[in-house]
């Protein structure tokens, strides 16, 4: 048994059992991938994958039990490497952060600016992805820190801390009838086409839940991943936008009006997420404390290596 076999097992699951994609992801030949899988199965004496001819369809029962063990082994292997780097090069290295577009565009710039000023020799890699992908990349150890509003808050294998809280707001073109209302209501909103975020992104579930609780069915004519796209189509008059309030800038968004509606869709909390058991370099912990100054470095480290509540 060797680490390459374990990496191939993990990559096979991640790439939906497509061995061509596994080979591309690991920069190796597909024939080599197949041989490693066969060698591992022969050594263990069980089949790890369900097959149809030469195609892999999924994990067998032994494969399902093996996968979390492999994940732990590869996580600790990465921890050993990071520990060595920590003591060999304290203020140099690479910090990989996965964040949704909203967090990367509107919440992180002050934190990143401070971090780069104080630790210029740390290469910062910022990956923009959806909330579910943020959680997935944390679990595989591909990233050190994740930032999202959805998918990271109540997972036993993840540790998370509040980053900040925010509300949705409505944006309309200047002169729009909604701007003349003294108080915005869901009943007034539902009279117009709506442009907002994709399902599963940037608090969309709260928007849907608010209309549902009021017995209303909004006409969502467009959805997008980020607020800049939504604002562009609101400017064209295609609908009323519902976005994260911090995405509106009065100078850049001249021609649009922001209509606060804190009481309509509730409060959202963006969280800083980490994989439980993932060894963090000191500069990674410092980045987290820049995001959440109420946290100490000791609190972060203790939380990452604490046993999960239901363990």
303, 159 Cβ separation under 8 angstroms: yes
Fold of 168-266: D-Maltodextrin-Binding Protein; domain 2 (3.40.190)
Distance from C-alpha of 244 to C-alpha of 256, rounded to nearest angstrom: 14
Specify the 3-state DSSP secondary structure of 157: coil
Other CB atoms within a 10 A radius of the CB of residue 277 amount to 17
Burial 28-44 (b: 16+ CB within 10 A, else e): beeeebbebbeebbeee
The DSSP element (H or E) to which 189 belongs, if any, is: helix 186-189
| Domain limits, CATH 3.40.190.10, in the chain | 90-162+270-305, 168-266
| Domain limits, CATH 1.10.10.10, in the chain | 3-70
Q: Tell the burial category of 106 from Cβ atoms under 10 Å away from its Cβ (0-12, 13-18, 19+).
A: middle
**In this predicted model, what pLDDT tens digit does every residue of 184-200 receive, in sequence order?**
999 999 999 999 999 98
Fold of 3-70: Arc Repressor Mutant, subunit A (1.10.10)
Distance from C-alpha of 25 to C-alpha of 9, rounded to nearest angstrom: 12
Other CB atoms within a 10 A radius of the CB of residue 276 amount to 19
- Please tell me the least confidently modeled range out of 73-77, 115-119, 186-190, 295-299: 73-77
Fold of 90-162+270-305: D-Maltodextrin-Binding Protein; domain 2 (3.40.190)
Which parts of 100-135 are beta strand (E)? 122-128
**In this predicted model, what pLDDT tens digit does every residue of 146-189 receive, in sequence order?**
999 988 887 888 999 999 999 999 999 999 999 999 889 999 99
Give the pLDDT confidence score for residue 172 in this predicted structure.
96
């Amino acid at each position: 048994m060797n680490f390459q076999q374990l990496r191939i097992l993990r990559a096979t699951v991640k790439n939906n059992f497509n061995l061509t994609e596994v080979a591309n992801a690991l920069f190796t030949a597909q024939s080599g991938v197949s041989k490693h899988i066969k060698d591992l199965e022969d050594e263990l004496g069980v089949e790890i994958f369900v097959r149809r001819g030469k195609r892999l369809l999924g994990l067998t029962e032994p494969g399902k039990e093996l996968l979390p063990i492999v994940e732990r082994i590869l996580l600790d292997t990465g921890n050993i490497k990071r520990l060595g780097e920590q003591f060999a090069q304290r203020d140099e290295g690479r910090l990989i952060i996965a964040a949704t577009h909203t967090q990367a565009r509107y919440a992180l710039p002050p934190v990143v600016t401070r971090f780069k000023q104080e630790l210029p020799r740390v290469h910062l890699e910022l990956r923009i992805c959806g909330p579910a992908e943020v959680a997935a990349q944390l679990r595989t150890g591909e990233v050190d820190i994740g930032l999202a509003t959805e998918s990271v808050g109540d997972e036993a294998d993840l540790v998370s801390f509040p980053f900040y809280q925010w509300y949705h707001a409505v944006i309309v073109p200047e002169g729009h009838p909604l701007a003349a209302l003294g108080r915005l209501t869901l009943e007034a909103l539902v009279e117009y086409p709506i442009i907002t975020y994709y399902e599963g992104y940037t608090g969309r579930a709260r928007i849907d839940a608010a209309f549902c609780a009021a017995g209303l069915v909004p006409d969502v004519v467009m959805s997008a991943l980020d607020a800049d796209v939504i604002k562009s189509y609101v400017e064209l008059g295609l609908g009323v936008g519902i976005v994260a309030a911090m995405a509106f800038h009065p100078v850049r968004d001249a021609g649009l009006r922001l209509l606060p509606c804190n009481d309509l869709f509730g409060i959202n909390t963006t969280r800083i997420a980490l994989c439980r058991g993932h060894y963090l370099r000191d500069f990674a912990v410092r980045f987290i404390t820049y995001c959440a100054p109420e946290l100490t470095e000791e609190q972060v480290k203790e939380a990452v290596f604490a046993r999960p509540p239901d363990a």
